[in-house]
Amino acid sequence: MPINFENLKPYRIDYDSLFSLLNNFKIFDQKNIQESFFKKWKEELIKHDQIIIEQFYTYGKNKILELFSIHNEFENFYIPFLFSEFIIFKWT
């Protein structure tokens, strides 16, 4: 979910760089299986991130702002993973 909840804005993920980075690790014994796995994973990640961002703009942001006004603060349950060219936030 590429949304920074501190500022309530989506952030951009460079999926190609992420794919290249992960694909450089030896995870599977056969390189072609690994590439196929990560390509499919990247496609699914892009698809579902787009759905989540669309939902966020449709009704999620208003709901989050409503909750914020009730509680007056957000709790941060994520940590940033810093890559050479981008940051991905992970829920803890």
Q: Measured between alpha carbons, how far is 38 from 22 in angstroms, rounded to an integer?
A: 8
Q: With contact defined as beta carbons under 8 Å apart, do 92 and 78 qualify?
A: yes
**How many domains does the structure of the chain reveal?**
1
- Kindly state the tokens that stand for 54: 């669309």
Q: What's the whole-model pTM score?
A: 0.63
Q: With contact defined as beta carbons under 8 Å apart, do 23 and 38 qualify?
A: yes
Q: Measured between alpha carbons, how far is 3 from 33 in angstroms, rounded to an integer?
A: 31
- Kindly state the tokens that stand for 18: 């992420």
Question: Does 50 or 66 have the greater pLDDT score?
Answer: 50
Q: Give pLDDT, residue 67.
A: 60
Question: Does 12 or 3 have the greater pLDDT score?
Answer: 12
- Kindly state the tokens that stand for 52: 């989540």
Identify the domain containing residue 56 by its residue range. 3-91
